[in-house]
Structure 1
Amino acid sequence: MKIMWRKIASLFQKEICPYCFEYFHIKDTPFRCTSPPSRCAPAPDAIYQSAWADSRPLGKVLKPSGKFKDRFKQSHRCGSCGHQSRKRLCPHCHSDLPHTTGQFKNYIFAVIGAKEAGKSHYIAVLINQLKKQIGPNMDMLLEPMNDKTIDRYRKDFYNPVYDDGKVIEATHSALADRSIQQPLVYSITFSGKSLLGNERIKKAFVLVFFDTAGEDLNDEDVMSTVNKYIYRSDGIVLLIDPLQLLSVRDQVPNDTALPQKNTESVDILNRTTRLIEKGCELKPTDKIKTPLAIAFSKFDAVLPLIDPQFQLHATANHDKGFDMGDFEAINIEMMSLLDQWNGQDIIHLAQTRYTKHGFFGLSALGCNPHDTSKIPSVIPRRVEDPFLWLLAQNRIIKKVRHK
């Protein structure tokens, strides 16, 4: 009986599409016929075409009848070929929904920052680290949810960095390339031992990573059009290139390759804050509850400016959960550095408008390829810290203190 009531409740609970970030109810989701084209001819899908500028014929859309009893069905029979399909679609954009929709929550994490802040490199290295090192150490399995995620991560992120040893080309604007609006969607599964000593799955979630072109954050109207995911996110990572700060550029060694000057990070944070306020319909006196991780990328380039006694140089230990002692030390260190580098406005904005915020330092590549565009080897450092902090803030992993 309890299982039946849970199924009924899931039909009416609000879900969010991990592709278009619109809300919907499972009872309203159509299905798509999955028969081979030779058996059931594909048809145009006007809704999918409008959402993604993709006019390919696809499997027929099978709409719910509207009858109350049909709302409980986990599949739908195609009227043309008779095939029973279990592939649900978002009612708003007709993207294939994860098969776990209604069972596990979708957590959306946004990675934002100015042009050349290192967003794509961060995602490329973070996902690889989660799969091969961090995940196994935490009994956490990261798996792509669909072929699009597999293909896009391999083509746009992994291959350039790990196979070709080259810098990833700048992300195109979502206004110019609609495919950029489709995020990387993964499932994350935590396993462990039961009381009887058997291996079992403890919990599972769906994670959505979204990489934004820097230029899409330069205009508030553009942000409200293509970056809706930001104000519906469960966590935001704002990457700041320290080499964009004037005081840092004046202090680093003369042989340091400097990037071209781009949008001020505080301006991006201001636009992001206004977008969240409007999208969530917050009052001027309301604080934003979305956790905000402000992370300095490319930290290897500014190591000569960092006190050798700082915790930043140590290796983090998050095996049993997120190490709060390590985080608190680094948070203080980063704020002191930002204060020295004339970034008080960023600190003040984060403290005033966000209930949960943290400052981090990381290096995705472990080198500064601005002058050559080549990556001799990938030596990541602390790329997992902001991500694991967001998981901890969403109570997905535990907060711990190591002695």
Structure 2
Amino acid sequence: MGLFKSLFGGKKEEAPVQKKFPIVCPHCFNKFSPDTVVFRAAHSKEEDEEYCLQEDAKLNEYLERFGLEGSEELEAVLNPYLVPAENRHYVDDVLISMKDKYNVETKKRLCPYCHNDLPYSAGRAPSNIIAIIGASQVGKSVYMASLINTLENVTAHNFEAACLPINSDTSRRFRSQYLDPLFLQNSLIESTQKERKQEPFIFQFKFKDPSKEPLSLVFFDVAGEGMVEEEYLDLYANHIRNAEGILFLVDPLQLSTIRRKLILNQDDNGGDFTSQYQESRDVVVTLAEHFIGSQEDGKTSIPTAVVITKSDMLTSLAEEEGEYIKPNSNVFENYIHKGYFNLNEYENINGEVQRFLEKVDLAFKDAVEVHFKNVSYFAVSSLGQNPVEGKLEKVIQPMRIDEPFLWLLYKLGYISSNEGVR
């Protein structure tokens, strides 16, 4: 990951450049060596039993777990080590294609466990799953849309990089399901339905400096109501176990001590509010029961950003001698990190949000710190406004939207701070 620097000077030994990395399947989340991938044949031969169209039992078993219909007959799954070595093609020591016994090339690599397609970067860059979690109504889908849009158009440029969808299917799905409704139609994105299987959105964050490793980012939007159900987590949220970072979103309206005051202090339009809110603490309890409790000391070391969403709503609580937050709070000031992660800005916002949570939901903060070893606190506004009747009345202006994500990159060693890599 990051470069280790000598504390005492002297000649620095160059570490060998790692070319291949373990793959975490973005579908079933099993971890395996890139040498163990299998391939989907690029053609079929009806007269050849080995190469005729056939049922893929592993893929169908995976689909049936989610209540989806099994696939129709598909091209054969091929073991690359049953062909001569010269028929296998490697890039950066990673097997990326093969020619079958008919000398027909295929580049369609599959996970050996579930037979879903793998992204082209799998094995050639670290697989980094970013889990976005939180109770229902917290705005996970809107946050993910606003975050990825900002990463593509602002953040990547600020860090001499590019952020791109891994393939045309990801680009099409993300645009039609998230970007177009929000940024073109000025409408809210529909909440993720618990009954609908979610496909991951895979992006690559690639630096212009070739000496810096690219990141494969897997974003997963899980239904909020499922985050308090163990059966749902067993089926849909195994990615949290293998996540490199967690974005734990908290809606101010989930904080019962201030919910009524926030609603009463809104203007006549009122905005959109739901009548029922889950408690964020319930999500912590379910995660602890589901997998954190089995970790050493009952804690997870996965870096976790606790993110207060819809921070623009907190302006209605702001008073000079206010009980909760002051008008000059950093929460209401946008900040853009450029080239490095500014620790001064981070420490200010981290401290302010911690103190805010201590006042409005100390039980939740205590629950987080009992189960998460590596946690920091942030406040963002995905839209810069509260929608009215499902519509946005102003131009979207996100506030500090990428700061929690950049903190994760900093903790993972991909970007430095203004004081250097720690």
Give me the TM-score of the superposition, normalised by structure 2.
0.82
2:366 paired residue number: 348
1:183 paired residue number: 200
Counting only pairs closer than 5 Å after superposition, residues 3-402 of structure 1 correspond to structure 2 as 10=20, 14-35=22-43, 43-52=54-63, 53=68, 54-65=70-81, 74=95, 75-79=97-101, 81-173=102-194, 176-178=195-197, 180=198, 182-192=199-209, 200=210, 202-252=212-262, 253=265, 255=267, 256-257=270-271, 258-277=273-292, 281-283=294-296, 285-306=297-318, 307-341=326-360, 343-369=361-387, 371-376=388-393, 377-400=395-418
Deviation at 1:201, TM superposition (A): 5.9
Kindly indicate whether the alpha-carbon contact (under 8 Å) linking 2:191 and 2:223 is maintained by their aligned counterparts in 1: yes
1:316 aligned partner, one-letter code: Y
Question: Residues of 2 paired with 1:155 and 1:37: CA distance?
Answer: 37
Distance 1:309 1:157, change over 3 A: same
Question: Residues of 2 paired with 1:360 and 1:68: CA distance?
Answer: 54
Q: Aligned with 1:322: secondary structure?
A: coil
Distance 1:277 1:68, change over 3 A: farther
Q: 5+ residue gaps in structure 2?
A: 1-15, 90-94, 319-325
Question: Residues of 2 paired with 1:30 and 1:145: CA distance?
Answer: 20
Distance 1:159 1:184, change over 3 A: same
Question: Residues of 1 paired with 2:202 and 2:118: CA distance?
Answer: 10
Deviation at 1:352, TM superposition (A): 2.6
Distance 1:158 1:375, change over 3 A: same
2:103 aligned partner, one-letter code: G
Question: Residues of 2 paired with 1:309 and 1:290: CA distance?
Answer: 32
Kindly indicate whether the alpha-carbon contact (under 8 Å) linking 2:88 and 2:98 is maintained by their aligned counterparts in 1: no
Question: Residues of 2 paired with 1:328 and 1:297: CA distance?
Answer: 18
Q: 5+ residue gaps in structure 1?
A: 193-199
1:268 aligned partner, one-letter code: V
Distance 1:272 1:69, change over 3 A: same
Q: Aligned with 2:291: secondary structure?
A: helix
Deviation at 1:72, TM superposition (A): 6.8
Deviation at 1:399, TM superposition (A): 2.1
Question: Residues of 2 paired with 1:214 and 1:152: CA distance?
Answer: 21
Distance 1:41 1:260, change over 3 A: farther
Question: Residues of 1 paired with 2:17 and 2:383: CA distance?
Answer: 49
Show CA shifts across 1:213-241 (max 9, x none).
11211212321222100111011111111
1:197 paired residue number: none
Give me the TM-score of the superposition, normalised by structure 1.
0.86
Show CA shifts across 1:4-52 (max 9, x none).
9977xx5xx64311221012222221111235999x9754323223223
Kindly indicate whether the alpha-carbon contact (under 8 Å) linking 1:317 and 1:323 is maintained by their aligned counterparts in 2: no
2:396 aligned partner, one-letter code: V
1:259 aligned partner, one-letter code: T
Kindly indicate whether the alpha-carbon contact (under 8 Å) linking 1:27 and 1:71 is maintained by their aligned counterparts in 2: no
Deviation at 1:98, TM superposition (A): 2.0
Distance 1:70 1:215, change over 3 A: farther
Show CA shifts across 1:338-363 (max 9, x none).
1221x111221222322211111111
Q: Aligned with 1:169: secondary structure?
A: coil
Distance 1:42 1:167, change over 3 A: farther
Kindly indicate whether the alpha-carbon contact (under 8 Å) linking 1:244 and 1:259 is maintained by their aligned counterparts in 2: no
Kindly indicate whether the alpha-carbon contact (under 8 Å) linking 2:87 and 2:98 is maintained by their aligned counterparts in 1: no
Identity %: 28
Kindly indicate whether the alpha-carbon contact (under 8 Å) linking 1:231 and 1:275 is maintained by their aligned counterparts in 2: no
